[in-house]
Amino acid sequence: MLEEVTGIVVSEQNYGEKSKIINVLTEEKGLIGIMAKGARSLKSPLRSASGKLTYGKFNIYYKKDKLSILKEVSIINNYNNIRKDISLISYASYLIDLATQVVRHGTDNLVFTNLISGLDKINQGFNPNVITNILELKYLDNLGVLPILDSCVECGSTDNIVTLSSDKGGYLCKNCRTNEPIISNKAIKLIRMYYYVAIDKIDNIDVHDDVIKEINDFLENYYERYTGLYLKSRKFLDNIKNI
C-alpha cells in the first residue's frame, strides 16, 4: 500500500549497480529503511531526491520492520546554503547523527521536529554552534539525563547560582560550589533558556563567543559523562572548528 511520510535522509549506502538503501528519519514512523531502486542512475528522478540531508515527503510502499520501496519524493528543503559550506555540513551531519541515535532510545516526534527546526535555522544563517547547543540540550531530555537547570543540584536553592557542573549534573550555588570554575551569569541564564525555547520561534539570537564556549564545554563534557554516545561526526566537527 502506498503511503506518504515526511522525513529527512540521514544516511545512504549503495546497493547493486544502480540502486541504494536510504535511512530516513520520519515524523510519522521514526527511523525507517527504504530501497531506492535505480536511484544512482544519471537519468533517475530519485537521484537528487534521495541523498543525505534531503528533507521532503516520501511516497513509499511501506513495509513494517522491512525495507520499504521508494516511489517518489517531493522535496521540501535541500538545505542548499548548508551544502555550500563544509563547516555547516559538519554541523548538520553531527545533528543528523545525534538525532538518529536519540531516536534509537525511543521514538519521540519532537526529536524530528527539533532537528528540522534546527537545520532550517542553520540554513537561514543563524549561528550553527548556538543552534547545535540548543538541540544537544533538548536531546538530553529525550535520553533521560537532562541536567538540573532550575535549582542547585546539591541543595535545591534557586539563589546565588554561580556555575554549571558536568560532574555533579547541573547548577551549583555559591554555598555548594567547591573547586568548580565559576562561569558567567549570561551562560547560566542562557542554557536554561535553550531548553525552553521553541527553535522555530527564534528570530534573533546573539551570543558572545566566550559564552558560547562556556555552554559548549559544559555540554560536551556532560555528553561524554552521561550519554555514552560516541559519534565520528562530532570528532570531525571538532576538527573543523579548530582549523
Check if the beta carbon of residue 64 is closer than 8 Å to that of residue 22.
no
Q: What band does 54 get if pLDDT is binned at 50, 70 and 90?
A: very high
Does pTM top 0.85 for this prediction? yes
Average pLDDT, integer, range 224-237: 90
What architecture is domain 83-241? Up-down Bundle (1.20)
Q: What is the pLDDT of residues 164-214, one digit of tens each?
A: 999 999 999 999 999 999 999 999 999 999 999 999 999 998 999 999 999
CA distance 88 to 97: 14
Given a cut of 80, whether residue 107 has pLDDT beyond it is: no
Q: What band does 15 get if pLDDT is binned at 50, 70 and 90?
A: very high
CA distance 237 to 241: 6
Cell numbers given for 85: 559550506
* DSSP codes, 60-117: EE--TTS-EEEEEEEEEE--HHHHT-HHHHHHHHHHHHHHHHHHHT---HHHHHHHHH
Give the domain ranges of the chain. Answer: 2-78, 83-241
CA distance 110 to 139: 9
Cell numbers given for 6: 515526511
Buried b (16+ CB within 10 A) or exposed e, 193-230: ebeeeebeebeeeebeeebbebbbebbeebbeebbeee
CATH superfamily of 2-78: Nucleic acid-binding proteins (2.40.50.140)
